[in-house]
Structure 1
């Protein structure tokens, strides 16, 4: 299965900066063994779609509404994302769970709505440092996974992101990533049967060009959800090249 590099810009880059990044990327990138997808702020997506139109690089939203349409000021629907060329939508990122108090039920509703709108949701799960220190990372993450997939079909990507490793410079070892990815794979088989073997599981948390290859070499890790290192084209090219 082809690795996916999901590049999560978070709240960075204006539309003009996004288009400049896209132009720089096209000049430097040689697509190889990995699929690249840019999870940009919604306001950036239309310009990026035009800039990257013949590059083979996919687009995604950083969030999606659980509602089809209506009086939900500030929200972005799956149809809106699809119309500007998005393929993916991130749901349940740890920052959304923490700062916006999104529950597993809300995450599941968003994932289901993304699928209904023709998008593939990237469903994020993972534990905080306190859970890790208690040695409860596996049961905690699997419970979160089950809750976040209630009523959700098999067209999904799962991103395991240990919260203690996001933006901290601390990175789970390749063995840590595989421990959770293997447990997630087993749980997905319980939920979806053989279809689970075709669901990509990403690792997210301080991924960089110098550690991505060892992490993605593990049998149950199929790519990465990349934060800070996604903002510089040189880092993106380095990660892409590391997976060739």
Structure 2
């Protein structure tokens, strides 16, 4: 059984004062039945990892360099995130692919670096609105899935997050049928490539997930959780999403 995962990406938001939001989230989910992940700015990772104490909430980075070390001013390696207390790292987020022109090959290199450092790589992918309207969604997702997920990926060291670019922060959300089609496609593609282990990759949906639509999204087959942006910045917004995922997990067959 795949363990459900609620992941929050704080992006370029948050200072030390924001750690009180993690405190409130932990208080609301003292013994979570699902895995909770927060990816704060790199400046907060060590403090968050230390402050959470023994609570199982996981801490992750938002990006890493493909190299283990070197003359890469301003970049951080997967090993450095691991040393700071992270256990996950996002790679290939659409904002990285767009703002920094990251290719599938670059994303795959970062995922390999994450694996080498002992981190779980959350590999992000998704189509633009133009690609969706041109009927290219599955072609784009298939290409990104094939080329961004490295050969060493397993259900233990890799999570795949489908984030249609046109739905991120826009308030627009694909229909349940559209989300289900992509997640079914990804599951089939991973199973064809990785055999039986393809069934163990956790598949997240991301893009304007909020308390009002979380229950419907989490009822879709092969949606194992969510990668949440703005709604993860405040515990009051993120906690109901976690609760909806916990309720969905309670419905899972043993």
TM-score, length-scaled by structure 1: 0.96
Q: Tell me the equivalent position of 1:194.
A: 196
Cα distance in 2 between the residues matched to 1:136 and 1:164:
14
* Per-residue CA distance 1:99-122 (angstroms, 9 max, x = gap): 000000000000000000000100
Unaligned runs of 5+ in 1: none
Deviation, 1:19, is 2.1
Following superposition, which runs of at least 4 residues in structure 1 exceed 6 angstroms of deviation?
none
Question: 46-55 or 2-11, which moves further after superposition?
Answer: 46-55
Q: Please name the residue that 1:50 is paired with.
A: 50
1:58 deviates by 0.4
| Secondary structure, counterpart of 1:69 in structure 2 | coil
Aligned CA RMSD, in angstroms, stands at 1.2
Task: Give the structure 2 partner of residue 179 of structure 1.
Answer: 181
Whole-angstrom distance in 1 between the partners of 2:174 and 2:163: 9
Give the Cα separation in 2 of the matches to 1:145 and 1:26: 33
Residue 242 of structure 1 and its aligned partner are, at CA, apart by 1.3
Give, in whole Å, the separation in 1 of the partners of 2:7 and 2:31: 14
3-state SS, counterpart of residue 140 of structure 1? helix
Aligned position for 1:39: 39
2:250 corresponding residue in structure 1: none
3-state SS, counterpart of residue 123 of structure 2: strand
Q: CA deviation at 1:134?
A: 1.1
* Deviation of the 1:59 alpha carbon: 0.6
Instruction: Determine the structure 1 residue equivalent to 2:252.
Output: none
**In the alignment, is the contact (CA less than 8 A) between 1:82 and 1:119 conserved in 2?**
yes
Hey, what's the Cα distance between the residues in 2 that align with 1:152 and 1:72?
A: 25
Conserved? CA contact 1:204–1:224, under 8 Å: yes
- Following superposition of structure 1 onto structure 2, how do residues 35-184 of structure 1 map, counting pairs within 5 Å? 35-154=35-154, 155-184=157-186
Contact 1:169/1:206 (8 A) holds in 2? yes
SS of equivalent to 2:44: helix
Gaps of 5+ in 2: 248-254
In the alignment of these two chains, the number of paired residues is 243
- Taking the aligned partners of 2:33 and 2:173, their CA distance within structure 1 comes to 23
Cα deviation for residue 30 of structure 1 reads 4.0
CA contact (8 A) 1:18 1:48 kept: no
